[in-house]
Amino acid sequence: MNIKSKVLLLNICVALIFSCKSVNKPYNYKRFPDNYSEIQRDYESYYYLNACHRGETIASIGAGNGIKEIQISCFIEGITWYLQEIDSSRLYQFEEVLTYHENLIGSSINADFNLVLGTENSTGLPHGIFDRVLMLNVFHEIESREGIMREIHQLLNEDGVLIIMERIGKTVGEVHGDCNYPKLMEPNFLQEMNDYGYTLKRKKLGEEISNLMFYTFESIAS
């Protein structure tokens, strides 16, 4: 089944048909898999903790070129994705990244991808439709978080949840090696989320060596 993909950029909907046949790795990403087993390893090690389900409508904020969401869709079919990013150049890489993975696994990926260009102050995502909103290794990079975090309440449907993946600091002053932003300290992070109107539903350790954590939040905002 071919993927129906739509691009929502600057509030203009444009249908895209992906026809690139290159099997070269897309540029500007350091961890592209070389084979299916590497995709499976990452999914079974980390990304299954997002608890995505077939048929869900899911937004991923700060999705970049969509590699993580594409890889999840190799194992969970029928997801309707909204991949949100404020850097349009990352979204433009999506077609190449998708084609690379389809060529790697030898079949089309059964998902519906919508690409959404947001801003630093607004996600640009539709309200009230999402079963889950993902923020995978992006929360710490948002410098002015309150507006975005309060907007997410409006994005979730009645039973929707927010999933945040972060490498949590073990000692004060730790920074991320790739971006040099400070790592979150869990007590401060959880208090900040409570201040934004979220309650922690569960947390799971994804990787001990880097203290990679997956947090599931429910909205308690009125």
Mind listing the pLDDT tens digit for each residue in 102-128? 999 999 999 999 999 999 899 999 999
Percent of the chain whose pLDDT exceeds 70 = 85
Task: Quickly state the pLDDT bin for 7 (edges 50, 70, 90).
Answer: very low
Task: Quickly state the pLDDT bin for 179 (edges 50, 70, 90).
Answer: confident
* Amino acid occupying residue 142: I
* Amino acid occupying residue 108: S
Q: Which one has a higher pLDDT value, 206 or 18?
A: 206
Between the alpha carbon of residue 86 and those of residues 18, 56, 98, 104, 189, the distances in Å are: 22, 23, 19, 28, 23
pTM of the model: 0.86
Please enumerate, as own/partner, the contacts of 180-186 that have beta carbons within 8 Å and a separation of 24 or more. 181/140, 181/141, 182/140, 183/140, 184/139, 184/140, 186/213
Check if the beta carbon of residue 188 is closer than 8 Å to that of residue 201: no
Q: Which one has a higher pLDDT value, 17 or 73?
A: 73
Give me the mean pLDDT over the 93-107 stretch: 94
Task: Quickly state the pLDDT bin for 221 (edges 50, 70, 90).
Answer: low
Decide: residue 92, CB within 10 A, 0-12 exposed, 13-18 middle, 19+ buried.
middle
At 27 the pLDDT is 43
Third-level CATH fold of 5-16+32-219: Rossmann fold (3.40.50)
pLDDT per residue over 142-158, tens digit each?
Answer: 888 999 999 999 999 99
At 21 the pLDDT is 32
